[in-house]
Amino acid sequence: MRAHGHIAVYFEDVGGKMLDAVLLNMRAYGCIAVCGMISQYNDMPEGVHNLMHLIYKRVHIKGFVVFDYYHLYLKFLYLVLPHIAEGKIVFLEEIAEGLQSSPAALVELFSGLNVGKQVLVFMKN
């Protein structure tokens, strides 16, 4: 979400260069929710260099684990499922079928060319 040309709220699950770019563009008193950092799973994790912007811009950053909110899951379903059924909430997924399709699908996934969830189907029941 951007406000006045800067990011007001950001959901972080990438880290590395992406988080660096976001920190440069956060608005003062913005919020970052952190649930993962896939860039740190590599053999050579990427560092984050713009952390001082958390201080300059007084950004609130908080890590969370979804299991902390498991007790709210049924309430979440009650609130969200009708919106999904009505088409008000949609999700995007790209499906690649067969082993021969997997290299191209993975290249798209890791280069940021795909949109939404990437699914590789190797065998159908």
Specify the pLDDT at position 41.
83
User: Same domain, yes or no, for 58 and 7?
Assistant: yes
The answer to whether the beta carbons of residues 27 and 3 sit under 8 Å apart is yes
Per-residue b or e along 41-72, where b marks 16 or more CB atoms closer than 10 Å to that residue's CB: eeeeebebeeeebbeebebebeeeeeeeeeee
Verify that 8 and 62 share a domain, yes or no: yes
Q: Are 63 and 69 in contact (CB under 8 A)?
A: no
What pLDDT was estimated at residue 24? 95
Mark whether 9 and 46 lie in a shared domain.
yes
Q: Record the tokens describing residue 61, joined without a space.
A: 């950053």
Q: Does residue 46 sit in the same domain as residue 17? A: yes
Structure tokens at 11: 């959901």
Taking the whole predicted model, whether its pTM rises above 0.85 is answered as no
Domain that holds residue 50: 2-66
Whether residues 48 and 93 share a domain: the answer is no
On whether both 10 and 42 belong to a single domain, the answer is yes
77 located within any domain? no
Note the pLDDT tens digit of each residue in 83-94: 999 999 888 888
Identify the pLDDT of residue 4.
Answer: 54
Q: Give the pLDDT confidence score for residue 54 in this predicted structure.
A: 95
Q: Which residues contact 6 (CB under 8 A, 6 or more apart)?
A: 25, 26, 27, 30
Query: 7 and 40 share a domain?
Result: yes
Low-confidence ranges of the chain (pLDDT < 50): 1-3
